[in-house]
Amino acid sequence: MPPRHWLMKVEPSAYTIDDLERDGHTGWEGVRNYQARNLLRDEIQVGDGVLFYASNASPSGVAGIAEVVTAGYPDPLQFRKGDDYYDAKATPEKPIWYSVDIAFVERFPAVLPLADLKANPKLRKMMVVKRGMRLSVQPVTAAEFAEVCRMGRHATR
């Protein structure tokens, strides 16, 4: 399977591309949506490209690039009693939620705003530009990934 491409959302209050640049890599934890879980568990592979998307931001948009460095594994937070992401129904034998690890690749000179993605006809089919699209892990085509990288490298504040 050739590397695929994904867009992953996170709010800047939780984690930023600067945090990822500092940390080098991080566990993508706390995803609590079944559709996104299925992608993390079943589809996402080492070497896949990631568009790092800042949501609920000003502006919201793609902040940089990351790369998947582990396949899906059980999200440790589901077992951590008291944690916001604790899930009493999950057990180590039957985990419910999954994570992957991602590594920093590149930080765009500025956030590439969602509005710019929407304005690019080549990106008309991207999930993230569609109204009401809340999925926090989304598949992205190779062509879309390349186009967003190209735009992001020219992003200016």
Partner DNA sequence: GCCAACGTTGGC
Nearer to DNA, 7 or 68 (CB): 7
Question: Is 100 in contact with 72 (CB distance < 8 Å)?
Answer: yes
Cα distance between residue 96 and residue 79, in whole Å:
10
> Could you say whether residue 26 binds DNA (CB under 7 A)?
no
Q: Tell me 123's DSSP state.
A: G
- Residue 98's closest CA among 78, 117, 72, 118? 72
Question: In the beta sheet, which residues pair with residue 100?
Answer: 28
> Could you say whether residue 56 binds DNA (CB under 7 A)?
yes
- In this chain, which of 22, 80, 125, 134 binds DNA, going by CB under 7 A? 134
- In this chain, which of 21, 33, 70, 106 binds DNA, going by CB under 7 A? 33
> Could you say whether residue 132 binds DNA (CB under 7 A)?
yes
Q: Which two tokens stand for residue 82?
A: 């008291």
Total of chain residues touching DNA, rule CB under 7 A:
20
HSE-CB of 78 using CA atoms within 13 angstroms: 22
Nearer to DNA, 24 or 34 (CB): 34
> Could you say whether residue 157 binds DNA (CB under 7 A)?
no
The CB-of-127 to DNA minimum distance in angstroms stands at 10
Q: Which residue has the tokens 């992953």?
A: 8
Cα distance between residue 36 and residue 19, in whole Å:
22
Site for DNA, residues 78 to 117, rule: CB under 7 A: 114-115
Q: Which range in 20-28, 103-111, 129-137, 144-152 contacts DNA by CB under 7 A?
A: 129-137
Binding footprint of DNA on the chain (CB under 7 A): 9, 11, 32-35, 55-57, 60, 114-115, 118, 128, 131-136
